[in-house]
Every structure is written in C-alpha cells, then in structure tokens.
Amino acid sequence: MSQETIWDRLQRIDRRVIYWLLFILLILPFLRPLGLPISISPQSRSLLEGLRKLKEGDVVVINISSGVSAWPECLPSLVAVSKVLIQQKAKIIYWTSFVDGHMTFEKIVEKVPGFKGLTYGVDYVHLGFYTGAEPTVAQLATNIRAIFTTDYKGTPIDQLPIMKGVNSAKDVKMVISSDTGDYGDYYIRQWRIPYGVPFAEIGIAMLFSNYQPYWPEIVFGMTGGAKGGAELEKLIGEPGDATVTMDAINTSHLLVVVAVILANLGYAATRRRR
C-alpha cells in the first residue's frame, strides 16, 4: 500500500472545512474593516459622467430587476445612482419586474437622505410590479399606461404630477436597469436601439462580462456587483455598504485563489505519480 502524501490529504479535505473557513473569512472584515484600496473602472466613471449630464426635470427610469437576495450586489449602486439623480434634480420613475421590488425601492428611499426633501409622486414615484419579460418592456416603450394604470400604492397614474406628459420611451431621458438576469438586454433591444434612450446597467458581478462588449457604444456606463457599487461610492465621495462588503469579498476570494492553486498543485502532483 502506497504512503499517503500531503497532496492526497489535500484532495480529500471535507468541503465543510472550506465552507467554515469561508464563513469566518467573510465575517472577520465586518468586525475589523481592512480598508483595502478600491480601483475605479472606466465603466463606473462613465456611468457617473453620464448621470452628471442630466438637467433639472429630466425623467429617468430605474428598472429594478433584482430581488432582495441581490441587495449586497445591486443596492449600493442603486443608492449611489439615486443620490446623483437627486443632486441633478432629475425626476425618477422606478418600476420592477420582481415581486419583492417594492422592498428594494423602499430600502433605496430609506438609505438616500435626499429623498426627505422631495415629494413622492412629484419628484419620484414607484409604479410597481410588471410581468411579461421582453414583450412588456417593448410595450412600456410605446405606452407606459398600457402596463401601469396605478402606482404601487394604488394611486391612479394620471393623478401623479410626475407622470404628466410621460407616456413612452420618447419622454424618458435615460433608463437604468438593475439586473440579475436578462432585463438589461430587453431594454437595449426595446429602448436603447429603437428609441435611442441612453442606457446604463447596474448588474450583478456575473453580468459584467456580458455587458462589457456593449460599453460604451450601446451601454454608456455600468457597474458590476458590489465592486461597482464600491467604485460609485468612492466616486461620489460617500462610502457605504459596498465599501465595507468589498473587504469581506476580497478575503473570501483570497481563500478561493489559494484553494484553486492547491487543488491544481495536488492534481498535478498526483497525476505525475500515476
């Protein structure tokens, strides 16, 4: 019987050991922040530059296609973008394709102090939930009232001053989509291309590579996950949740990198022996 080497033992580590290590590494930075540096990507920078070009009264649609489970990824960017939109005195219309999207909207309002000086229905509104994927997004581009007859509280849309004269994509200056799936593509195909509405993407980290080819011609700016949120927070000079989260993500990634290296070394060593 051949002697068991350290490489054999490494390949047989119980997955629970890795999970516990990961959990501990994720927790520690919250208790003692490391303050690791955050580099700014050109995509985040161009998102902010695009937002800064907005003028007072411009109508901006924020599509929330990410649920509560994606808050660590998407919420920091949504909060940062809403802060900038308020500074630009833009009118913000939120709507969502997620059933729990209203919770995200309410969280944004809670986290952005600027909303306290604004009036709901006049300066910002949440029209609520829509279903139907791409056909609905196409319908929204031609007639918003065909999908939304009231806001999420049940107030008829025509009684909301912010909606006066806002009927279709032609009346919207910019659309921003917060996604965990395909909705960004729908808005590119149904809003950006046919109507030329400037489009920005706030996606989870997984989507960053998907939208990279669209930047900057089709998608003028974008952020990827918590990293993108931390970049925006740094750009606007208001560190928030994503800045704290990035330390935890960095330490956990270190574990993943070490695990990948060890696994490959172990594989190479045992293969050579065979």
Partner 1 sequence: MGYPTTIDGILGIWTALALMLFVYSYPLYKENQLFRFAEHLFIGLSLAIAAIIAIQTTKRLAITPLMEGKVYYIVPILLGFMMYLILHRDYRWVSRYPIAILVGSSIGLGMRGTIIPNILSQIIATITPPKPGADATAWFNFVYIGIGTILAVMYFLLTFEHKGPLLYPTRLGRWVIMIGLGAYFGNTVLFRMAMLSGRAQFLLQVLGLVPF
Q: Which stretches of the chain bind partner 1, using CB under 8 A? A: 15-16, 19-20, 22-23, 26-27, 30-31, 69-73, 99, 110, 129, 131, 133-135, 138, 147, 149, 188-190, 192-194, 204-209, 213-214, 217-218, 224-227, 244-245, 248-249, 252-253, 256
Query: Of 84 and 246, which has the nearer Cβ to partner 1?
Result: 246
Query: Of 229 and 266, which has the nearer Cβ to partner 1?
Result: 229
Q: Are 70 and 204 in contact (CB under 8 A)?
A: yes
CB neighbours of 228 closer than 8 A, spacing ≥ 6?
41, 43, 44, 77, 202, 203, 205, 208, 222, 242
Two tokens, residue 139: 């319908």
We find the least distance from the C-beta atom of residue 70 to partner 1, in angstroms, to be 7
Query: Of 58 and 134, which has the nearer Cβ to partner 1?
Result: 134
Q: Are 133 and 99 in contact (CB under 8 A)?
A: no
Nearest residue to 216 (alpha-carbon basis) of 10, 47, 33: 47
Residue 242, phi then psi, degrees to nearest 5:
-65, -35
Which SS3 state, helix, strand or coil, does residue 141 take? Answer: helix
Query: Of 7 and 66, which has the nearer Cβ to partner 1?
Result: 66
We find the least distance from the C-beta atom of residue 1 to partner 1, in angstroms, to be 30
We find the least distance from the C-beta atom of residue 220 to partner 1, in angstroms, to be 13
We find the least distance from the C-beta atom of residue 180 to partner 1, in angstroms, to be 9
The owner of tokens 């990634």 is 253
Query: Of 6 and 24, which has the nearer Cβ to partner 1?
Result: 24
Gap between the Cα atoms of 60 and 229, Å rounded: 19
We find the least distance from the C-beta atom of residue 19 to partner 1, in angstroms, to be 5
